[in-house]
Amino acid sequence: MSENPCSYEVITASELAEKLKVRESWVVEQSKRCRTHDPIPVFRLGKHRRYRWGSPEMNSWLERRASGSMHAIRKAGSSTKGGSK
């Protein structure tokens, strides 16, 4: 048998919030293009927001967010260590 090309799960904002360990309101806000330069990938089913957990778009978004967080941590850490040559 061949594998289903849609190997992702369609989930709600509440379910995504649970997976990311954040508030649902944060997920909703971060899904709006007007609120952030890199919104969470979302699609609409009527008035409902849905997310593709495990999709290439969601995985890329998560990678960008993780990379950005690590960059911010390293940048913050490097400025506090100081050190002169």
In a domain, 4, yes or no: no
Which of 63, 66, 45, 67 is closest to 55 using CA atoms? 63
Residue 73 pLDDT level (bands cut at 50, 70, 90) = low
Contacts for 11 with CB less than 8 Å, ≥ 6 apart: 19, 50, 51, 53
Average pLDDT over residues 62-81: 68
**Span 4-62, pLDDT tens digits:** 567 899 999 999 999 999 999 999 999 999 988 999 999 999 999 999 999 999 999 99
The pLDDT of residue 40 is: 97
- Residue 68's pLDDT is 78
Q: How many domains does the chain have?
A: 1
Is the pLDDT score of 3 beyond 80?
no
Residue 2, in any domain of the structure: no
Residue 3 lies in a domain: no
